[in-house]
Structure 1
Amino acid sequence: MKASVTWIDGGTYAAESGSGHGLLMDAPIVAGKPTIAPSPMELVLIGTGGCTSVDVVSILQKGRHDVRGCVCRLESTRAETPPKVFTRINMHFIVTGKELKPEAVQRAIDLSAEKYCSASIMLAKTATITHSFEIVAAD
């Protein structure tokens, strides 16, 4: 895997993935000055939510469960002193589908957390990661 990050101005950087996809990052370097993009640490959190969501949906689909939607809401706490690593992350999944069984959703979340999600397994080295979920019935 490869990527590049180019400083644009102030706290703004342009990133490009090895597959050619780009995004902006912005770090607040002046207190109170608005930013125009997520910070690098926000992207770490977002990437973790994406990684585990891909797993959860894929596991449910492979189990032939009728999953129609998945939202992963993340809340985190970081250390107060540098390097300000994540110390706590809660992942709350809102899974929508037809006749989804809580046991199946819990199993998918557990498999992601314990076996498949590289990002959350890596972050679990410094952070306590908790999971919760709710199921919304699809029409």
Structure 2
Amino acid sequence: MQANVKWVAGNTFLGLSDSGHNVVFDAGSESAAASPMEMVLMSVGCCSSVDVVSILQKAKQSFSDVQVQLRAERAESAPRVFTKINLHFVVTGNNVSEKHLARAVQLSAEKYCSVALMLDKTVEITHSHEVVSEQLK
């Protein structure tokens, strides 16, 4: 895997992935885009969400929405690394099994999410979840 990051102006940078996708970063106060640390946080959420969705689909769970609410704490002084991250999954659907969701989150955390497993070496990562019943029309 390879990537390239190019300075645009000020504290704005453009990342280009090996697969040809562009991402804008903003490391300063311009707020032109997400910061590198915000990207890391969103990456752990996306990586784990991919796992949870896939596992729930394989378990034939009927859901219409999966969101992960991410909360992180950072060190007070440089380097301002993450010290804690919580991933709270909210799955909306029809008769989604709490047991299946808990198992999907656990499998992602312990076996599949490479981003979380990489960060877990230095960050306290916790997970929580809830099922929201979908209103039938």
Letter in structure 1 aligned against 2:20? G
The match for 1:113 among 95, 109, 114 is 109
TM-score for the superposition, normalised by structure 1: 0.93
What is the CA-CA distance between 1:72 and the residue it aligns to?
A: 0.4
Letter in structure 1 aligned against 2:63? V
Tell me what 1:10 maps to. 10
Letter in structure 1 aligned against 2:82? F
Tell me what 2:100 maps to. 104
1:85–1:126 Cα contact (<8 Å) kept: no
Supply the distance in 1 between the matched residues of 2:114 and 2:90 (Cα, whole angstroms): 21
Supply the distance in 1 between the matched residues of 2:65 and 2:47 (Cα, whole angstroms): 15
TM-score for the superposition, normalised by structure 2: 0.94
Tell me what 1:44 maps to. 40
Letter in structure 1 aligned against 2:90? I
Q: Could you list the runs of 4 or more consecutive aligned residues of structure 1 that deviate by over 6 angstroms after TM superposition?
A: none
C-alpha offsets along residues 35-77 of structure 1, whole Å, 9 cap, x if unaligned? 1100011000001100000000000101111122100010101
Unpaired segments ≥5 residues, structure 1: none
2:11–2:30 Cα contact (<8 Å) kept: no
Q: Secondary structure at the match of 2:19?
A: coil
What is the CA-CA distance between 1:96 and the residue it aligns to?
A: 1.1
Letter in structure 1 aligned against 2:117? I
Name the Cα RMSD after superposition.
1.0
The match for 1:35 among 15, 31, 37 is 31
Q: How many pairs align? A: 135
Q: Secondary structure at the match of 1:84?
A: coil
Letter in structure 2 aligned against 1:64? K
Among the aligned pairs, what percent are the same residue?
A: 49
Unpaired segments ≥5 residues, structure 2: none
Supply the distance in 2 between the matched residues of 1:59 and 1:93 (Cα, whole angstroms): 14
Kindly indicate whether residue 95 of structure 2 is the aligned counterpart of residue 130 of structure 1.
no
